[in-house]
Structure 1
Amino acid sequence: MTKRTSAKYKIDRRMGENIWGRPKSPVNRRQYGPGQHGQRRKGKLSDFGVQLRAKQKLKGYYGDVREKQFRKVYEEAARRKGDTSENLIGLLESRLDAIVYRAKFVPTVFAARQFVNHGHVNVNGVRTNVQSYRCKPGDVIEVREKSKQLTSVLESVGLAERDVPDYIEVDHNKMVATYQRVPALHDVPYPVQMEPNLVVEFYSR
């Protein structure tokens, strides 16, 4: 199991937003933070606080990636040519667990990390169990034959709460997805507004 499976909705409540757009999110019922002090009036955030919040939201969205790992992704985005915030989103969306989630092979980002980690996925015909494996355009991601009839997989394909984005081509009959291209920020179907420019400001202080 991934570390935050049992407490993943705490991220929603801490942010006060339904960051995955899921019907079960507690934010749909109450928009204050978790814990006994959650209903206290919040003061205005400083610039640092706004940047930190944007980083926590983006990091949390991808399954609460470890800080060290997330910073490495930022550093690579900064080294690449072009807009660093766009590069950051492109690198995060190229993660194998993100593509498995986008392809609707699993219901949540957390389930995607577990699904990959347990060896249920092939990339270009090779079993791959590293969640952060970086896929390249043209890579073919397939659910392994013995895993195609898992209840969680079959249920996820039928979920109506999200669609497969156009930078991933999916055949749900064969449980095969092709990563077509690296997306830009406006291509990614985030249920809430993400602000990678503030993440860049946070790390470049």
Structure 2
Amino acid sequence: MSKRHSAKYKIDRAMGENLWGRSKSPVNKRSYGPGQHGQRRKSKVSDFGLQLKAKQKLKGYYGNITEKQFSRTYAEAARRKGNTSENLISLLEARLDAVVYRAKFVPTVWAARQFVNHGHILVNGKKVNIASYRVRADDVISVKEKSRSMALVLEAQQSSERDVPDYLELGDRGFSVRFVRAPELADVPYPVKMEPNLVVEYYAS
């Protein structure tokens, strides 16, 4: 198993949830945490513990986002008008690697970052290889013509594990999407319950 896959499943087990709704997640077989003490009875978690877990779960879901990047995204969400927790979700979903994953161009969030970094993605017809690039409403994100026959692209498109959300408009036989709008929490198809309000409390405390 590669380090990337190992890390991904480690997050699932640590959280005790199948974060990405994948059929191969170890949590499908056992829901307790990793290690020899994973089956111990869980003690009551403090408010801070719940906030920390919510933050780790949301950050972990988006793959290789560093703590610095995540806290910077939160800071921007807090500066914007409106609900900070909704702003946070909108900013995370507007990341180019998140859009590439949601569009089913690749099978995992981890692959999405690599796919973008390796130059396989166009935004409005121009190559963009920065995973954290922020997509705007009406931007068209597409897979380069030469990259469309790659095995992981075909695997992702044929997968029935997830659907493309309605804030993305598919085109070009599924090889491009238009970013219709920044979504709200209720629009995002998370396989598990996300609690950005607790993330806000974590950073505000």
Calculate the TM-score normalised by the size of structure 1: 0.96
Deviations 1:59-90 (A, max 9, x none): 00000410000000000000000000000000
CA RMSD, aligned part only?
Answer: 1.3
Hey, what's the Cα distance between the residues in 2 that align with 1:160 and 1:85? 30
Counterpart for residue 158 of structure 1: 158
Counterpart for residue 188 of structure 2: 188
Counterpart for residue 145 of structure 2: 145
Give secondary structure in 2 for the equivalent of 1:8: helix
The AA in structure 1 aligned to 2:114 is Q
Matches within 5 A, 1:24-173: 24-171=24-171, 173=173
Hey, what's the Cα distance between the residues in 1 that align with 2:22 and 2:113? 18
The AA in structure 2 aligned to 1:192 is V
Distance 1:92 1:143, change over 3 A: same
Aligned residues: 204
Q: CA deviation at 1:171?
A: 2.3
Hey, what's the Cα distance between the residues in 2 that align with 1:126 and 1:186? 31
Q: Gaps (5+ residues) in structure 1?
A: none
Deviations 1:113-149 (A, max 9, x none): 1111111101111111111000000001010111010
The AA in structure 2 aligned to 1:160 is S
Hey, what's the Cα distance between the residues in 1 that align with 2:5 and 2:79? 33
Q: Taking every aligned residue pair, what percent have the same amino acid on both sides? A: 68
Q: Gaps (5+ residues) in structure 2?
A: none
